[in-house]
A and B are shown apart, each in its own frame.
Chain A
C-alpha cells in the first residue's frame, strides 16, 4: 500500500556515503539499495520517516524529520502544544491509556 509520498522529508547526500550498507539493512520498506558498493534511493516514496537509516548513518549522509505517523499522537501534541516530532503515542509505562 502506498501513502502520501510527496510529503516525505527524506534527504540523501550520496557524496557522503561510505557504503556500509546499514541503511539497506535497517529500512523496513526497502527505500535504499546498494548499487556498486554505494547506497542509492530506490523507493523514496515508501519512506515512513522512522529515522532508522539516519540514526545508523555514521557519515550523516541521510537526513529525515523522523517521527511517528500516528494521528492520535499528533492530535495529542497539538492539544498539549508540543513539537510534532516529540509526539508520543502516550503508550508508556507511566500513562494508563493511549492518546
Chain B
C-alpha cells in the first residue's frame, strides 16, 4: 500500500514502511518518551553531563572518532507541540550534543539524519547530509503529520549537501538555514528564524585551530613513529658494520629529532597559522620548518657535526614540517580545493625531493667519521 504525500503539489510516493523513530537502548541523554501522533518519540536532555564532555574530548583526540554517534530519527526536546520548530542535525554525537545543549529551556523536534556518525559540514561535503537523506527522513518520520507548519531548520553548513528548492519540491517542507553555530540558535529562533551576518560567518580563530589539531597529530603520529623507528635501526650502520653503539648514539637522537619536528609542526603550524608568512600551507610549513631547524641547531640539539648532518636536517625538517602543515588544509575552514591542488602540484615534488636528499645525506653521514653526534 502506498502513501502519497501530495501537500506540495508533487507527490513522492512512499511505500508504507516501519516508522524510523529511534528506540535507543537506555541512554544517559534520554529523559523519557512522549506520545505523539506518529508514535512514541524519545525526549532528550538538554543539559550536557561530564560524560558528554569527556566524550567530546576523546573524539577531539581521535579516540573512536568514527564511532561516536546516536541513532538517526526523530527526538523531542522540552514539551513540543505541532507548532514547535523542527531542528535538523547529523548523527555525530558531538553535533547532536551541541544542538540539544543549545535549546535548553525550549521545546522543539530534533530530526537527526544518518550521516554515518560524521559531523554536519563534512557530511554535507560528502553528500550524506543531503537532500536525499533529509527528504527520506522527513517522510519516514511522518513529519507532515507531526507538525502543522512546513519548515525545517537546517544548519547553514549543511547547505553544500542540501538543495532547499529541491527539498521543497520533493516533500513540501521549506528549508530555513539556521546559524553556523548551534549556540546562536536561541537568538536565531527568537528573531523569527532570522540570522545576523555574524551568525553566518565561519571563523578559524586560535581556539578553533587548536581544537582540530590533535586529530591531525594523532593521524600523522603513526607515520612519524614509523620513520623514527627506522632511523633507530638504521643508526646502527657505520663504516665498521652494525653496532648497538650506533643505534644509541645516532639512531635514537635522530628518531627524537624527527618526532620533535613532527610534534612542533603539528602544534605550532595550526597555532601560528595566520602569522607564518605565505598563503600556501606547504610554504608556511616549510618556513616553520626552517625556523625549527635553526632553533634546534642553536639550542645544541644532537644534529651532528659537519655539513652532511646539517644538510640532512636542514632539508628533512622543513620537508616534514611542510607536509604536516599542508595536511592541515583539510582541518581548516578557508581553503578551496582548487587552491590546495595548486599548492600541492608544486609542494609535494619539492617535499619528496628535499626528504630524499635529506635522507641520502643522513645515510651518507653514517659512514663519514665524526659526522653524527
Contacts and interface: CB of A to CB of B under 8 A. Distances in A.
A2 B279 contact: yes
Contacts of B200: 25, 27-28, 30
Interface stretch (B17-25, B49-57, B322-330): B322-330
Contacts of B268: none
B344 A28 contact: no
A70 B329 contact: yes
Nearest to B335: A69
Given A48-B335, A94-B116, 20 more contacts: A1-B334, A3-B339, A4-B338, A7-B339, A28-B180, A28-B333, A48-B336, A49-B336, A52-B124, A55-B159, A55-B160, A55-B161, A55-B162, A56-B164, A68-B330, A70-B329, A71-B282, A75-B344, A84-B341, A98-B219
Nearest to A4: B339
Contacts, number: 154
A3 B219 contact: no
A69 B245 CA distance: 46
A17 interface: no
Contacts of A69: 329-330, 332, 335-337, 339-340
A7 to B, nearest CB: 4
Given A4-B343, A56-B159, A91-B122, A47 B202 contact: no
B342 interface: yes
A29 interface: yes
Interface string B272-287: 0110000111100000
A68 B337 contact: yes
A48 B164 contact: no
A96 interface: yes
B279 A70 contact: no
Interface of A: 1-5, 7-9, 22, 25-30, 46-52, 55-56, 58, 65-75, 84-85, 87-89, 91-99
Contacts of A55: 159-163
A7 B117 contact: no
Given A22-B164, A28-B201, A56-B164, A3 B335 contact: yes
A91 B66 CA distance: 7
A58 B340 contact: no
Nearest to B222: A97
A89 to B, nearest CB: 6
Interface residues of B, number: 54
Contacts of A87: 337
B366 to A, nearest CB: 30
B336 A71 contact: no
Nearest to A33: B197
A58 B117 CA distance: 30
A74 B337 contact: yes
A75 B321 CA distance: 17
A82 B165 CA distance: 30
Contacts of A85: 337
A7 B336 contact: yes
B177 to A, nearest CB: 5
B67 to A, nearest CB: 8
Contacts of B274: 1
Contacts of B128: 92
Contacts of B197: 30
A75 B69 CA distance: 28
B201 A30 contact: yes
B86 to A, nearest CB: 18
Contacts of A58: 165
Contact of A70 (B157, B195, B282, B330): B330
Contacts of A73: 330
Contacts of B337: 49, 65-70, 74, 84-85, 87
B58 interface: no
A79 B160 CA distance: 26
Given A26-B159, A56-B165, A71-B329, A47 B341 contact: no
